[in-house]
Amino acid sequence: MGRPRLDQREPNEQLAQWQAQVSMSNAALARAVTKHARAQGHRGISPDKSSVRRWRAGETPRHPVPQLIVEAISVRAGISPSPADLGFPDLLPTGQGTGLSWLPGTSVQALLHLTRSEVMLSHTRNSTSASRVQKGSALLASLQQWATTEPSSLAVPVGRAGGQVGAAEVEGIRAVTAMYRDVDNRHGGTLSRKAVVAQLNEAASLLHTCTYTERTGRDLLAAVADLGSVAGWMSFDAGHHTSAQKLFITSLHAAAEAGDKPLGAHILQCMARQMSHLERYEDALALVDLAQYGARRRLSPATSSMLASLEARFQAILGNLAGSEAAAGRAEDVFTGIVPGNEPAHMMFFDTAELSATIGVAHQIAARNGEGTDRARHAEKGLRLIQQALDSRPAHRVRSKAFDHLALARTHLAAGEPEGARQETVHALDLFGTISSHRVGDRLTELHDEALPYANSAPAIDLRERITHALE
């Protein structure tokens, strides 16, 4: 791969950060790359410090120089990053699908590489990464194989340096996953995002360095995939959409290798929510369809109900109200078959409150886009369901409560009731002050815009001013 045009280059911050971490100057890196090149018979490779400056400025050197840079850094770092970790090139290149093979073992290496680079990178709270996520056919075509992928035949590693891993370590990862899910529910994803990514790296390292039985290996891979879904969710909540999507996709691969279709369906619904948030509603519905099809024989009642309720929401957004109400009916019917204690850990969030809120939002969307008696009917039903959700939310689901108040506010606006919207906005902002969630901030912005038609009324003026102040 040759140099990009100067106006297309972006500084390679990953390489600069790795150099700083291992205290390696440009000249020292150039000398080390030359040494490794000579050892491997590449007589024509002899970079100098100017070459390294160009790499750091965004130039991608030709093969095999990126791998030689990796080897030079590895000697100092004590771990082996990938070319992607150093910014040459991306593990999941844009415009080329997900770029991740469905061959056995791929997900472990990808998780290790991805989490190492994620911990190294610093991020700001902005939405620029949203433009770089995979969308449409570039995303969906690459995920279709998930539905037919069979679990890997995990060979039993022998003599690895990390020692023996058993059920205790798997349970430890599951406990950590539950802890981070609780932290995310209470405080949002921003504050703990890097911590869970670092924990994911440690968990994935067990798969790479330790010895385990076939059964333990499969359980371990599924536990790592579930932890990866939490890391992706926190990244999504923090507004780091490209990172979130990479974590979701890599975790989906790990779940497929583990043979855990229900977990894969859960990860796909996380991805669907992200696509909906980015206003890629057809992509969101397609991801739900893929989850329903790919795990159709393995879906628990809670997972089936959750996917149907999301289908109702996305159908409403796309204007298919008959399809939305039919899906909502299926969600409610299947929900009655849930047996407490029989659902997987990743589905514990889907309770009566979540079902009511999801279907209630579908009615809120229908009310916002409807007219006359249909508008009033959907608004009334939406208000009733979302209030039921709010009343039954567990205390620790703080962010969900904020979403419920915002959904009530938006439904009041759809019903032409700005005072009701103002009151609910006040409650939502009180909770917003206790959490750190980019998604809640985005919903507040949407509410601010939806209140514009009522801008001459005192409640709407107060609502908009409060939101503006909170987001400053």
Q: What is the pLDDT of residue 2?
A: 40
What is the number of domains present in the chain?
Answer: 2
Q: Based on the domain organization, do 178 and 248 belong to the same domain?
A: yes
Res. 116 pLDDT band, cuts 50 70 90: low
Residues 197 and 254 in one domain: yes
Is the separation of the CB atoms in 204 and 111 below 8 Å?
Answer: yes
Residue 106: inside a domain:
yes
Q: What is the pLDDT of residues 213-226, one digit of tens each?
A: 889 999 999 999 99
- Which tens digits make up the pLDDT trace of 269-304? 999 999 999 999 999 999 999 999 999 889 999 999
> Residue 425's pLDDT is what?
97
- In the block, tokens 């899906």 appear at 327
Of the three residues 239, 259, 279, the one that is the final residue of a domain is: 259
Question: How much of the chain exceeds pLDDT 90, in percent?
Answer: 57
C-alpha span between 65 and 75 (Å, rounded): 16
Tell whether 57 and 187 lie within a shared domain.
no
* 301 inside domain: no
| Residue 13 included in any domain | yes
| Whether residue 123 is found in the same domain as residue 188 | yes
Residues 172 and 223 grouped into a single domain: yes
* Cα 28 to Cα 33, 47, 76, 159, distances in angstroms: 9, 11, 11, 35
Is 270 part of any domain? no
Asked whether residue 266 is assigned to any structural domain, the reply reads no
| Residue 191 and residue 42 share a domain | no
Neighbours of 320 (CB within 10 A): 16
Least confident of 37-51, 234-248, 336-350, 423-437: 37-51
Q: Is residue 200 part of a domain?
A: yes
Task: Quote the pLDDT of residue 158.
Answer: 67
89 closest CA partner among 148, 200, 12, 17: 12
Shared domain for 48 and 184, answered yes or no, is no
Question: What would the pLDDT profile of 177-205 be if each residue is shown by its tens digit?
Answer: 999 999 999 999 888 888 999 999 999 98
| 249 part of a folded domain | yes
H or E segment to which residue 63 belongs: none
Residue 403 CA to chain centroid, in angstroms? 18
What stretch of H or E contains 273? helix 261-277
Specify whether 108 is located in the same domain as 221. Answer: yes
Asked whether residue 110 falls in the same domain as residue 242, the answer is yes
Helix, strand, or coil (residue 212): coil
Same domain, residue pair 36 and 118: no
Tell me the whole-structure pTM to 2 decimals.
0.76
Q: 178 is in which domain, residue-wise?
A: 102-148+162-259
Whether residue 211 sits in one domain with residue 129: yes
Q: From CA 432, how far away is CA 425, in angstroms rounded?
A: 10
- Write the pLDDT tens digit of every residue in 345-386: 999 999 999 999 999 999 999 999 888 899 999 999 999 999
72/109 same-domain check = no
